[in-house]
Amino acid sequence: MRLEVATYRFGEYDFLEELVERNSSIYVWIYLKGKPLLNREGKHLKRAFDQKEHSLHIRNFCRKFAEDEEYRKKFISEYEWDPFEEKNDKV
């Protein structure tokens, strides 16, 4: 089961924070101008966090992603690792 926890907006970027109960993880889905931001493989870009992560840490990620172009480019080009992937069937 997924539960929407919070939404954030920084500039043209929107972030949807969801709790995925079956694997106790949080996914932050990234949108640009209201449309899903896609990775190199055409999948909706997300960042995974452990459920124990403080919401301030998640909000800081969202702000940095939106405001820091170098960080954003690096994340999009390099960040493909999902630490919870082994626990996911299809998220």
pLDDT in tens, 11-54: 999 999 998 877 778 999 999 999 999 887 888 899 999 888 88
Domain count along the chain: 1
The per-residue pLDDT for 20 is 85
The per-residue pLDDT for 86 is 42
* Angle, CA of 58, 68 and 91, to the nearest 5°: 40
- Rounded to an integer, what is the distance from CA 41 to the centroid of its chain? 16
Task: Give yes or no for residue 87 having a pLDDT over 70.
Answer: no
Say which amino acid occupies 91.
V
Whether 10 contacts 66, CB under 8 Å:
yes
User: Which residues constitute the domain of residue 81?
Assistant: 2-87
Whether 37 contacts 30, CB under 8 Å:
yes
